[in-house]
A and B are shown apart, each in its own frame.
Chain A
Amino acid sequence: KNEVEQSPQNLTAQEGEFITINCSYSVGISALHWLQQHPGGGIVSLFMLSSGKKKHGRLIATINIQEKHSSLHITASHPRDSAVYICAVSPWGNDMRFGAGTRLTVKP
């Protein structure tokens, strides 16, 4: 079983919809990361969190340490949000363990 499980694997939404991507992990962690990868490979770090909730623009990330679960929410989704979203955990330092990613397609 993978240490980091993401769901769903693929997600198609209409522009304007509220989107949720889930991440569950099975190891103790010092931090959890949400990453965004566009076609071509470039990765952008969206959030790094160890507790509670963080918000940046239309993106919100939450984490429940006791339940070992995190969610990434996108409000008012837009076609430019189409990308692969990857959850990763750091048991220690930069030894990151990655989920398989969620491929999001937002249709106009």
Chain B
Amino acid sequence: KAGVTQTPRYLIKTRGQQVTLSCSPISGHRSVSWYQQTPGQGLQFLFEYFSETQRNKGNFPGRFSGRQFSNSRSEMNVSTLELGDSALYLCASSLKGGWQPQHFGDGTRLSIL
């Protein structure tokens, strides 16, 4: 069974640009969560999608958005990139979210120049 797949693995952008990251969950998993990891702030929860609806949201500005498609694949978008957005972005999937173990992807490392 394939694991959680995130693309691309590495990305370099400049300030002011926007970026879209993709996450394909494990087959059958309907919950996808996104996290940001930086050296200064550590891991932080961005949002969770379940059945194409955002179910939970962390404390991030509106520049961070996401969506989930009918096949449970999810995308995360960051607009007007700032230097501080440089981070490892991780997604995780689970069957239903909530009281379920999560399976993490290897992440997308985003660098802002």
Contact = CB atoms under 8 A, between A and B. Distances in A.
Contacts, number: 62
Interface residues of A, number: 24
Interface stretch (B16-24, B40-48, B68-76): B40-48
Question: What does DSSP make chain A's interface, helix, strand, loop or mixed?
Answer: loop
A94 B101 contact: no
Interface residues of B, number: 27
A40 B106 CA distance: 8
A73 interface: no
A43 B48 contact: no
A86 B43 contact: yes
Contact of A93 (B43, B88, B98, B106): B98
A84 B75 CA distance: 27
Given A93-B98, A94-B56, A95-B58, A45 B45 contact: no
B90 A41 contact: yes
Interface stretch (A13-21, A59-67, A75-83, A97-105): A97-105
B58 to A, nearest CB: 7
Given A31-B99, A41-B106, A45-B102, A94 B33 contact: yes
Interface of A: 30-31, 33, 35, 40-45, 48, 50, 86, 88, 92-101
Given A95-B48, A101-B42, 12 more contacts: A31-B99, A41-B90, A42-B107, A44-B104, A50-B99, A93-B55, A93-B97, A93-B98, A94-B31, A94-B55, A94-B56, A95-B45
